[in-house]
Amino acid sequence: LREIQANPHDHALFLATSDGPCRFGQYINLYRMILDRLGYNDIIIIAPSSYNAYAGLPQRMRKKLWQILLMSDILLKLRCKIKPYELKPGLTEQIFQKSINLLDEAITEGRDPEVWPQVLDAFRHIPIDTTHRKPLVGIVGEIYVRSDPFSNENVISYIENEGGEAWLVPLSEWFHYTAYSAKLRAHKRGKPLDALKTVLTNWFMDHMETHIYKQARALLKDREEPTVSEIRHYTEQYLPFECGTEAVLTIGRAIIFAVANGADIIVNVAPFTCMPGT
């Protein structure tokens, strides 16, 4: 705190935000009020918005954040797919936590491209027995709460303790959705340059995702995610896609879980009183 007070212009609070009626978009105002009340008026808040696919950050930073997020998604997918069938109880979780720490250090030092194959290899060598498949439980819902173990009361562990195999929709789904939505709006406004930028953004995101997942394809070949266009196709039978929010993802993805992924159960995780969740 003394360092912040002495050099306020050297510090910033990073807080992604969104537009719309959700209270999530109001957190930035609350943080501003708190910082001002504590005397930190000079500290800026960096708040990229989901409305424009989090534009405004340096391109190099956006690319790196996207890469890290994809690796994080893959790690969790591997953990959830392997853990219910491990022959050495606790080994998968141990490797999962070790991999997070290893990648954390490697990313800081710029060594993550060389460490990533090592991480995948560690999961590849976990002894498993898949003779008897367990019920597959698809997890959809509000992006933050479904992804944060504290907020969802460890829903993945609960499913596993009850004898199921959890498949959590990854965080990357939301970022694909924001980029997809920005592309739709740009085309609708009839602005060719903006539309071209959004097309390039979507292409780059898909390209990097394909590259990173390719290395884990042998382990996750039956855990591929649908595109936003595919989710939209199923959603619009029940809700116009223009309604936005995670509701349009939750409905379509839940149907795909049932008709294409063979899910036995679907869990919808949402904050209490959340309008889209309800």
pLDDT at 83: 97
Residues 72, 171 contacting (CB under 8 angstroms)? yes
pLDDT at 117: 93
The span from the CA of 151 to the CA of 144, in Å, is 8
Per DSSP, which regions of the chain are E strands? 12-14, 44-46, 136-141, 165-168, 265-269
pLDDT digits (tens, 9 = 90+) for 114-152: 999 999 999 999 999 999 999 999 999 999 899 999 999
pLDDT digits (tens, 9 = 90+) for 40-59: 888 889 888 888 878 888 88
What is the average pLDDT across 206-211? 91
Residues 8, 44 contacting (CB under 8 angstroms)? no
CA dist 48 to 13, 58, 129, 144, 258, Å? Answer: 11, 11, 44, 16, 34
Reported as a pLDDT band with limits 50, 70 and 90, residue 1 is low
pLDDT at 21: 64
Statement: residue 82 has pLDDT above 90: yes
Reported as a pLDDT band with limits 50, 70 and 90, residue 187 is confident
% the chain with pLDDT above 70: 98
What is the average pLDDT across 193-221? 89
